[in-house]
Structure 1
Amino acid sequence: MTQQIAVPTTDGEMPARLWSPKSGSGPGILLLQEIFGVSAYIQRRAASLAEEGYVVLAPFLYWRLDRQTFDDVSAPDVVEQAMALAGQMDAEQAVADAVAAFEVLAARDEVTGTPANLGFCMGGGLGFATAARTEPAALVSYYGTALPQLLDLAPQVTCPSLHHFGTADDYLSMDEVRAITKAVTADGRPAQVELYDGANHAFDNDDFSLYHPEASRRAWATTLDFLRNHTSLA
């Protein structure tokens, strides 16, 4: 079951989509969009998580802007358009919106235990920054492009975390991935970093040209195992 809900913020109500499992209740997952918005792909991932037993909330983080989603990611200039839209977001405001969504999800009666954060691309960095301000059960970040600029927050991200990177990522160099790995695992923090040979950025998006089926399959299986181990679904 899916429904539209509103997340109160200091600037008004942010729209969000909520997916519920057949059981009606379960652990919560805050699902944070990539630069293409809460697209058809993100919605499919949310539905898959609900089928696994999770209550999933995906806030529309572009809600203050003129456009919300890019579903036709095959358009020649879609990446440039999406990056331009994402560039209009205020980073601090976006984190505050994500924190507000996390708090709304955590307070819902059907959510058992503490929610986890799961983010893709832009959402991977937002999930990390949100985890530094809240106490999620776990964090899963897919190729978080902002992570190299957020590593000073690593000591504040104390929850178990899982980070996915392709070794052929056009937006994150392997030197940056090594720096991320060093930061998130420092001082014995419970972080896991997974690499996928030959996979580029956005390898999980099966609507996009950089989709890598094997990396996507392996990463999703690892994600589901990780979430089971660190949420009340276990």
Structure 2
Amino acid sequence: MGETIRLRSPLDGFEFDAYRARPDDARRGGLLLIQEIFGVTDHIRELADGFAADGYEVIAPAFFDRLERGFAADYSPDSIQKGVAHSIATPWAQVAADAQAALEALEGPRFVTGYCWGGAATWLVACRCEGVAAAAGFYGRRISELVDETPRCPTILHFGKSDASIPMEKVDEIREKHPELPIYLYDAGHGFVSDRRADYHEDSARLARLRTLQLFARNGGGSGRGDA
């Protein structure tokens, strides 16, 4: 369903790849989908294709292309270490700029969602980028680094109650700083949306996805429109 395109960052002019999936029928909006630490994997492309089937034109940028073009890791300990290293070596200001390039490649209304590292990046985009109608972040551990920033669009967050990498104190900190923001907790661990991971939880993944689509529908993505 999808294709690889190339985007140019307004930060430094660097050109990076992105996976784009278009809806086959009426278009509900554009969606920036942000990867996990593992890169733009088959799982991320499948998520993009799924949202495209729901009527969204999706762009999933390869945010680590400056470090390793085409990076797509598995879930082995070595790959996890490499993905973590890549994510740490990717500054938030660079992420925001690259995300803005992806948003500008989409027609509105524009939405954003992301998973793991991408869950924190989703928060970042909601706080710093222009033209975002709504955002849904999934298990973003590093939101704690950005918790003093405030989303500029309607935003929801999804966390697993038994996520060993995100203690509930971190979630409570977000609640305290942003009491108006909906935070949903699930009987699941980290990465519960990915059927490649041991913590995959089908019911939680389905409910979180439904809530995400409902958020988008309430903020401009409710009626399909033909592609221009």
State the TM-score, normalizing by the size of structure 2.
0.89
* Cα contact 1:53–1:233 (8 A) shared by 2: no
* Cα contact 2:29–2:56 (8 A) shared by 1: yes
SS at match of 1:231: helix
Q: Find 1:137's aligned residue among 127, 133, 139.
A: 133
Structure 1 residue runs of 4+, over 4 Å off? none
- 1:48 shift after superposition: 0.5
Letter aligned with residue 199 of structure 2: L
Does residue 231 (structure 1) correspond to residue 217 (structure 2)? The answer is no
**2:226 corresponding residue in structure 1:** none
Q: Distance in 2 between matches of 1:162 and 1:89?
A: 24
Q: 1:209 to 1:69 in 2, by over 3 A?
A: farther
* Cα contact 2:191–2:197 (8 A) shared by 1: yes
**1:2 corresponding residue in structure 2:** 2
* Cα contact 2:73–2:83 (8 A) shared by 1: no
Note the residue ranges of structure 2 that are not aligned, 5 or more in a row: 224-228
Q: Distance in 1 between matches of 2:93 and 2:183?
A: 26
Q: Percent identity?
A: 33
**2:173 corresponding residue in structure 1:** 179
Q: Distance in 1 between matches of 2:79 and 2:16?
A: 24
Does residue 149 (structure 1) correspond to residue 161 (structure 2)? The answer is no
Q: Distance in 2 between matches of 1:165 and 1:147?
A: 12
* Cα contact 1:135–1:159 (8 A) shared by 2: no
**1:59 corresponding residue in structure 2:** 61
* Cα contact 2:73–2:79 (8 A) shared by 1: no
Q: Find 1:37's aligned residue among 19, 36, 39.
A: 39
SS at match of 2:96: helix
* Cα contact 2:22–2:57 (8 A) shared by 1: yes
Deviations 1:157-190 (A, max 9, x none): 131111000111122110110111222335xxxx
**RMSD between aligned alpha carbons?**
1.8
State the TM-score, normalizing by the size of structure 1.
0.87
Letter aligned with residue 136 of structure 2: V
Note the residue ranges of structure 1 that are not aligned, 5 or more in a row: 106-110
Q: Distance in 2 between matches of 1:124 and 1:92?
A: 16
Q: Distance in 1 between matches of 2:139 and 2:183?
A: 10
